[in-house]
Amino acid sequence: MRSHSRQILTVEETFGQNGWHCELVEGRDVLRAGFDAHHTRVDLIAQAFPALNALVVVSESRLSFDETHLVSVLELLARANKQLTLGGFEYDMDREFLVFRITNLFEREKYDSDIISSMVHCAIAELDRITPYAAIVRDTPSDLLADLDLARLLLREDIIPPVPGDEEEEY
């Protein structure tokens, strides 16, 4: 059995520094963790690719759609992806999971912990952000789906969680 790479051990160390519980997958350069976000439970997978000095962070959450709603949610994710600079949304149709994936190439074997932390925060926040929009699509009656303006739906800010530290303090 092969040992874990220096790269994935750097990721594990960063998780520990942040107080995040994680588990290394035996025999693979993969780490698993779970987080409770504002709207959903997020399963997180971090995979190192040592030959490339690359790290992929994937967040996912189960959300099922019937065939009628699936087309609309795929369009929703495509529209959301057009607004992103880093990472992208996917829908795993086989397992029925909303997915967000972000990748970074590092210069050294020892990954930068600030970048790792940012990737994890981004993966969790983006998945948590898209979940209520996808739930609105799922909960829209089939006969009203054609009337649902997905571009306008994505403009709604009342359903997205606040950015930590951006909340206004009340006195």
- pLDDT tens-digit profile of 118-166? 999 999 999 999 999 999 999 999 999 999 999 999 999 888 777 665 5
Give CA 110 to chain center in angstroms. Answer: 23
pLDDT at 50: 94
Query: Is residue 22 within 8 Å of 57, Cβ to Cβ?
Result: no
The span from the CA of 28 to the CA of 150, in Å, is: 39
Provide the residue ranges of all domains of the chain, joining segments of one domain with +: 6-67+86-130
Instruction: Render pLDDT for 8-18 as a digit per residue (tens, 0 to 9).
Output: 999 999 999 99
Q: What is the pTM of this model?
A: 0.90
**CATH topology for 6-67+86-130?**
Yope Regulator; Chain: A, (3.30.1460)
The span from the CA of 15 to the CA of 53, in Å, is: 18
User: Of 46, 122, 64, which Cα lies nearest the Cα of 88?
Assistant: 122
DSSP state at residue 64: -
